[in-house]
Structure 1
């Protein structure tokens, strides 16, 4: 099926028939390529605007808050025999005289004899309106969507997404080749759309705090939003994130997913790239996932409270396995294996870390930005305050020393600076503003304990 499924009725199950291989693609097959005279291996095709309908991803640039491209990038993509080509490297596009012209390099291959597809839809499965609740999506292969950047301050449209609803189950699917994000459990459009890009005279953190109030006033609570289950999916080849959500993932369970090969091209910079990333991870369970080669494994950004991260495996994530940013807690990180060269980046407080294996470096940095603290099991704000740092408990963890080699962490954008407090083990917490407790931990090689 080459379509965008837009559910409108609450409580419907979409499921592939037993024993069937059912695919939903956001692309179309493209023939009628013409060899470019004088340029061996290059071909082009001209398409009228009517071919695309109301969405032309070759006129649509990737855009949004905290997105910093090296070059203007389109949401569209060109595939040959199932493999994506890279814009500026092997394909380009332009519009003239009411036509979209795509030029691509296919080398020795004849695109009219091969299987060439181009993405034409912004999603494969996403409701056009908010509040379509209790949808189950099970057993599909979904791929090749021209998705837009999913900033936390915008409507977040993924290859599959929930669009500000409650109680979805997304399970046993294969989700791949999204230009930006695979699964979104995200924010609505009405509460704001890329507000920082619209007014960069203000600090982005201040604008996000203003948005938090708008979202709460619009009904963000356990009664109305979140409580989704995302489990046993295979998610890969996504340009920015495998799974993400701002506000809309609260009270959800992210279970036993395989996420890999995310943000591998590195053809832009930004602040939303991870295998799994959530803003406002309130009372969530993130358990049993395997996240690899995804830049950042798990990124909990702002307001993680009451959330449990357990029994996950993270490896080959070259920025960091888990990034805790702007959270007051409490939250629990338990029985995980952090196997990459950077294990933990801690810009938060109020965490309990129990029975984890940390193979790599740990860094931390207090934050003067402010973020809310909620009433327990609620989205009601009690206070707003900065991150002093500390107030963590480490119990029965094992800290290795990465063979004693301190690698260089790649930058996510030009403003990204390495934390000054960085090392193996817990020595970086010795001067934390709030108390840090350490009990029954093991330190291997050059990894250092909390106390000298």
Structure 2
């Protein structure tokens, strides 16, 4: 496929400049310069010099002209365009894209939609607006379906006959997303909804009764990226202080965020707002293993190209259709101090397309540092690293009210290079089906350390680890082995405290100790559980071993569990957990209370502790030197949980994470 510039990415002036940049070599300048962009300036002109007195009107000319060390200063205003960096910077001379006032330069992947509105038949205020094909920057997203598995990224779903499918495009009215429906009956019932009819030539919108459509600000997504190079692998680009919103970007794979590093390296993405993308807000990885799937890419770049070492800091990544931040196969990236909220906004259902790719933060094959983030209210996993996580650190994050699991590690085998999940506050997770709302969850994952976390008020188990497939990781059949669960606080997790496999050929060397457990619930099911999915053992055999050990400990025959009944519900008290598995010998059940108030940030936490918690011994965790707040761990007598220096009774803690890189 020839490399082509997507239609109308830039103005005609920018396209002319792009041709020059791609076919000539520009001699480096001795001094860096600042290119100025100001859409509202009276003298703004894309053919001008790009100075404060005569700035560019759009960002495109500056992006084409900038060389290492240059800054592109963008003044407040609305910029409806895709920004396409033509080249990267150098280690000591990055190219900096800077909003002159944080949050005041807004770059959108949408355009105004102001058709001649015609009222549809019926009593409801449903209006029809005809789509103009000329407005779309490439393919029409109101004709294309949504893919979350890479197999049908070009599937056309309009025009259509029979049952309709969702389209990729979106409609915003007065800056708020309206809800897409695919049945006319649902459109008539639901105010603030919209539908693309079978012929694909128009959009039907159900406006509120009090609104006159011609007086509403209506926008439709027309671009598949907002800030993304055409060339892959560019490095040392800094992007600071912008608002990026509205994008008709297709789901993975390839991963293509509204803001995308395009397999680049050493980017800094700081202080931005990235919201309302159709699928991924920001992608920070290497896009895909299948280079031929990368359209609008030079043939010589249609190959595996591994990037990384990005710093993603202090951004608001919210309300994106699928994922907030995604990254396939990259190393050394730091994701610190961000707010990642309300992603999977489009509520893609479990297993759509056979793949699961939704999360606040979803990384693959990444030894990333994920630290000090607020990850909350995502209709998806909070933080998820899949298919390789050796040496990754998930530390000091506030992970609240996500769906399925708060923190999820999947598919890994990293002896000597574990992923460390430490100092996190994980609570309020809700569940659905197979994913029952777990605080910290792993499957097919070995070499994970879960230590010094506060895990509370989750719908499922506080920690659940299991082996569910026969896949390969690092050339070895997956297991749940060598995981450690140490020095955590478990409070009021409705499904139970912990569920782990019984030792067998698929699960060896699990350690759990020096945790503190509490539940206010009335006595019901025992709080610990044995799980068995793809393990080399049967639960009936585990039940027989439990009976044997209980009898050896002096339990009366009539008190022994019935084998078949226990195998159907393999729950254990703390005493029997210790007896059967020889785990949690130093752990204790102690009264605790947790209240978290995150109505404003930084959030606050009230943690009430029993005096005896200070006497719980803690296991030293290799590589962990500070707590949630960045305070150094004491050389002796560490406290379980993410906070040191607590007192008996009520402690009020401001959840402002420690200094991040």
Could you tell me the TM-score, scaled by structure 1's length? 0.81
1:324 is matched with 409
Decide whether the 8 Å contact of 1:390 with 1:429 is kept in 2: no
- SS at 1:164's partner residue? coil
Decide whether the 8 Å contact of 1:65 with 1:194 is kept in 2: no
Distance 2:147 2:278 in 1: 12
1:75 is matched with 168
Distance 2:102 2:272 in 1: 14
1:16 is matched with 99
Indicate the larger mover: 165-174 or 107-116. 107-116
Decide whether the 8 Å contact of 1:64 with 1:194 is kept in 2: no
Decide whether the 8 Å contact of 1:351 with 1:392 is kept in 2: yes
Distance 1:19 1:335 in 2: 31
1:199 is matched with none
Alignment of 1:284 with 2:368, yes or no, is yes
1:55 is matched with 139
How much has 1:431 moved relative to structure 2? 3.4
2:203 is matched with 102
How much has 1:42 moved relative to structure 2? 1.0
Alignment of 1:36 with 2:114, yes or no, is no
Alignment of 1:235 with 2:317, yes or no, is yes
Count of aligned pairs: 392
**More helix by percentage:** 2
Alignment of 1:157 with 2:226, yes or no, is no
Distance 2:470 2:164 in 1: 30
Deviations 1:168-207 (A, max 9, x none): 1111001111111110123346734679xxxxxxxxxxxx
How much has 1:317 moved relative to structure 2? 1.0
Give 1:428-447 correspondences, 5 Å limit: 428-431=500-503, 433-445=507-519, 447=527
Decide whether the 8 Å contact of 2:137 with 2:222 is kept in 1: no
Unaligned runs of 5+ in 1: 196-214, 374-383, 407-422
Q: Which has the higher contact order (CA 8 A, sep 6+)?
A: 1
2:237 is matched with 135
Alignment of 1:306 with 2:385, yes or no, is no
How much has 1:66 moved relative to structure 2? 7.3
- SS at 2:319's partner residue? strand
Deviations 1:9-53 (A, max 9, x none): 112210101467110011111113423242331111113322224
The counterpart of 1:27, out of the listed 110, 134, 154, is: 110
Decide whether the 8 Å contact of 1:23 with 1:142 is kept in 2: yes
Q: CA 1:188/1:243 → structure 2, altered by over 3 Å: closer, same or farther?
A: closer
How much has 1:86 moved relative to structure 2? 1.3
Distance 1:424 1:193 in 2: 46
Distance 2:427 2:317 in 1: 20
How much has 1:364 moved relative to structure 2? 2.4
Could you tell me the TM-score, scaled by structure 2's length? 0.56
How much has 1:367 moved relative to structure 2? 4.1
The counterpart of 2:489, out of the listed 386, 394, 398, is: 398
Give 1:165-204 correspondences, 5 Å limit: 165-188=264-287, 191-192=290-291
Decide whether the 8 Å contact of 1:352 with 1:393 is kept in 2: yes
Distance 1:296 1:267 in 2: 12
How much has 1:371 moved relative to structure 2? 3.8
Alignment of 1:93 with 2:196, yes or no, is yes
Q: CA 1:95/1:134 → structure 2, altered by over 3 Å: closer, same or farther?
A: farther
Decide whether the 8 Å contact of 2:103 with 2:273 is kept in 1: no
Alignment of 1:353 with 2:455, yes or no, is no
Larger Rg: 2
CA root-mean-square deviation: 2.6
Q: CA 1:333/1:20 → structure 2, altered by over 3 Å: closer, same or farther?
A: closer
- SS at 2:500's partner residue? helix
Decide whether the 8 Å contact of 1:42 with 1:107 is kept in 2: no
How much has 1:385 moved relative to structure 2? 1.0
